[in-house]
Amino acid sequence: MDKVQKGQDFSIYRKGAVHIRSMRSIHTSNTEIIHIIISWLAISYAFAILLLWSRSGTRPSSDELFNGIFNPLVISLFTVGISFIIHEMSHKIVAQRFGSWAEFRMSPIMLLLMLVLVYQLGILFAAPGAVMIYGGNVGRRENGRISLAGPLSNLILGMAFFLPVI
């Protein structure tokens, strides 16, 4: 074991093969950012297709997706996309608060399945990936809080944007 020196920073410690830092900030990686962006674009595209399916009742053409300034894709990028990011980051932040390594990872197979189903059948199964969690002080109670963070963020967003409409 290393000797302890006066003034040494104990905010970094080793747990298994993963380095965990104190939660003065939220930690991420380039891989996570790329996975979030790809998933954001894919889920927004899928919801745009679903929106067009619901309007016409038939498979939409690519012209319909990009028609006009308020096209379904732009609307989906800002509504569904931002909601998706807040949902996933809520899981991540809570997990990191419990001292775990947590990052979003997309599932290429689920992304492809989502796009094929929504385009071919008008059925949306939105599961583009998940926040992967490793280490930390996570028992049943903490795992429940991590799991609840995403849906709770969606509920808060829904109330924030729905209540002013009433």
**Is 84 buried (19+), middle (13-18) or exposed (0-12) by CB count in 10 A?**
buried
- How does DSSP assign 110-166, residue by residue? HHHHHHHHHHHHS------EEEEEESSS--HHHHHHHHHHHHHHHHHHHHHHHGGG-
Instruction: For the chain, give the percent of residues with pLDDT over 70.
Output: 80
- pLDDT tens digits, residue range 77-134? 988 988 999 999 999 999 999 989 999 999 999 999 999 999 888 889 999 999 999 9
pLDDT of residue 149 exceeding 80: yes
- pLDDT tens digits, residue range 9-19? 444 444 444 44
Angle, alpha carbons 109-112-117 (nearest 5°): 120
Contacts of 16 (CB under 8 A, 6+ apart): 134, 135
And the tokens for 48? 């745009």
The catalytic residues are: 88
- 32, 9, 16: which is closest to 136 by C-alpha? 16
Domain boundary assignment for the chain: 28-165
